[in-house]
Copies of this chain bind each other. A is one copy, B any other.
Amino acid sequence: MSRSIAERLTAVLGPEKVETAETALHAYRHDYWVLSHLKDHLGQGAPNAACVVRPTSVADVQASLKAASEAGAPVIPFGLGSGVVGGVMASPEAVILDLGAMNATRFIDETNLLAGFDAGKRGSEAEAEVAAAGLTIGHWPQSVAISSVGGWIATRASGQFSTLHGNIEDIVWSIEAVLPDGQLVTLGKAPRASAGPDLRHLLLGSEGCLGVITGVTFSLRRAPEAQAFSVFGAETMDAGFGFQRELIQAGWRPPVMRQYDAREAARLDVRLAAPAVLIIHEGPAGLVAAETAAISELAARRGLAPAPEDIARHWLEHRNIVPNWSSFLERNLIVDTVEISAPWTAIGRIYADATAALQALPGCLNGSAHSSHAYRSGLNLYFSFAIRTEAPEAMEGAYFAAWRAIMEATDAHGGGLSHHHGIGRVRAPWLERELGPAGVRLLRQVKQSLDPAGMMNPGVLIADA
């Protein structure tokens, strides 16, 4: 039993699927969490894992979990590494399970609008393949080109077109996963079921802690017949929130609706000097025409001013630029984004309190927000902050202070502390405020029953599990 976990896995899977070279391991130490990049920048970066395993089949995943379980080695599933809350962080005894080589398209069904993929399929490639058939997954996270379809499930992701299309749980048809005990489950076979609890929801948001997602089938859409753009200026954020609320509660559902505060609006387009609402309308031509007209009328009635629609077109074309953390860290700038959601009556106060608290932090260069997902009963907010410190070592403290400002302002008004990035490590200390002590206890019970040894992605989601 003195063999290392890497040796065991090599014996089971063959050497070509098990990496132990330092340089290979280095690239898998963490995901896109800015704090992990900051630690690297400070020379305090995460260690290498024991090995990286690259399964090419469900059987490989099962064999990997079995070997890791026997060796008592933690397993950290790794999609394409675009997570931003610390869902991946290597430890010297851990096995990184890289799903990136499981990236086949299993089928595209143009009649039922279904498409099945291996979990490691890159989002933009999956979308391009269905687009060639005139279809769309309709899920557009900013990370679409650097995230995997399995990662979308594991993190309960949201896309930019969610206001009509829903979030990932509204788009998924079935999920295939290997549970910690090696069992393969395929959950979901019909448009809808009442057959006990919907067990897909144990995997949606599981962040690698309850099993390994190996395949996903989506319920697609046909490419829309028509598309239109609307942009309006609002005098205040509250004016914009009121407009969005009335529009949604009247029964309109434009796929994209985003409200930028004055700071972000000005960055988006110099012609915008105040908060602005960008809308993209899509659907059958008659619906798009009716929606565009009604929303324009509503905006006029509520005193919002029409702005050039090319601002929305420009956003659509340039929306998926993901920042490079190094360029900030090199200048002692710590930056991040934090998304929350809340009922309509709380959203204005959360916006005001959180941005004020951010801007009061020493060295704060930016504390701003936009909304991007609207619901009948509330809205999300997506905060951005940038803080400059004197010394590189001060960035970590500034980072947590900014997070705390947003979490506390949200919690004080009863909002939800994570809209779509997940819990990972950065939100784990706040999980009890989100779920309540009994909710966390329930989650622990579920975790304990599926993963009694605690081998799956320890330290994520439930801080001490």
Binding site for B on A (CB under 8 A): 109, 111-114, 155-158, 167, 169, 173, 179, 183-187, 189-199, 201-207, 209-210, 219-222, 224-225, 245, 249-252, 282-284, 286-287, 289-291, 293-294, 340-345, 373, 375-380, 414-423, 427, 431, 434-436, 438-439, 441-443, 445-446, 448-450, 461-462
Inside 8 A of A192's CB, which chain B residues have their CB? 158, 167, 341, 373, 375, 380, 416, 419-420
Give complex CA distance A376, B423 in Å.
31
Partner of A416, one of B189, B341, B376: B189
Q: How far is the CB of A464 from chain B (nearest CB, A)?
A: 14
Q: How far is the CB of A337 from chain B (nearest CB, A)?
A: 14
Counting from the closest, the 9 A-B pairs by CB-CB distance are A190-B416, A286-B290, A449-B449, A201-B201, A191-B375, A191-B378, A156-B194, A251-B283, A112-B343
Cβ contact within 8 Å between A191 and B284: no
Cβ contact within 8 Å between B283 and A190: no
Cβ contact within 8 Å between A377 and B191: yes
Inside 8 A of A225's CB, which chain B residues have their CB? 250-251
* CB closest chain-B residue, reference A444: B449
Partner of A442, one of B155, B179, B287: B179
Listed A/B pairs (5) with beta-carbon separation below 8 Å: A112-B377, A184-B438, A190-B415, A220-B376, A286-B290
The number of times this chain is found in the oligomer is: 2
Cβ contact within 8 Å between A190 and B287: no
Inside 8 A of A189's CB, which chain B residues have their CB? 414-416, 434
Given contacts A111-B344, A199-B443, whether A194 and B158 have CB atoms under 8 Å apart is yes
Cβ contact within 8 Å between B194 and A436: no
Give complex CA distance A294, B345 in Å.
37
Cβ contact within 8 Å between A442 and B199: yes
New A-B pairs, 14, CB < 8 Å, besides A286-B293, A445-B449: A109-B343, A113-B376, A186-B436, A189-B415, A192-B373, A192-B416, A192-B419, A192-B420, A193-B434, A194-B423, A195-B435, A202-B446, A221-B251, A446-B449
* CB closest chain-B residue, reference A375: B191
* CB closest chain-B residue, reference A198: B201
Given contacts A112-B378, A113-B377, A345-B111, whether A197 and B201 have CB atoms under 8 Å apart is yes
Given contacts A190-B415, A202-B197, A414-B189, whether A114 and B438 have CB atoms under 8 Å apart is no
Cβ contact within 8 Å between A438 and B377: no
Given contacts A184-B438, A439-B199, whether A190 and B284 have CB atoms under 8 Å apart is no
Give complex CA distance A84, B224 in Å.
40
Given contacts A185-B439, A220-B376, A377-B219, whether A197 and B446 have CB atoms under 8 Å apart is yes
Q: How far is the CB of A192 from chain B (nearest CB, A)?
A: 5
Cβ contact within 8 Å between A438 and B205: no
Inside 8 A of A245's CB, which chain B residues have their CB? 111
Q: How far is the CB of A271 from chain B (nearest CB, A)?
A: 29
Q: How far is the CB of A289 from chain B (nearest CB, A)?
A: 7
Inside 8 A of A155's CB, which chain B residues have their CB? 194
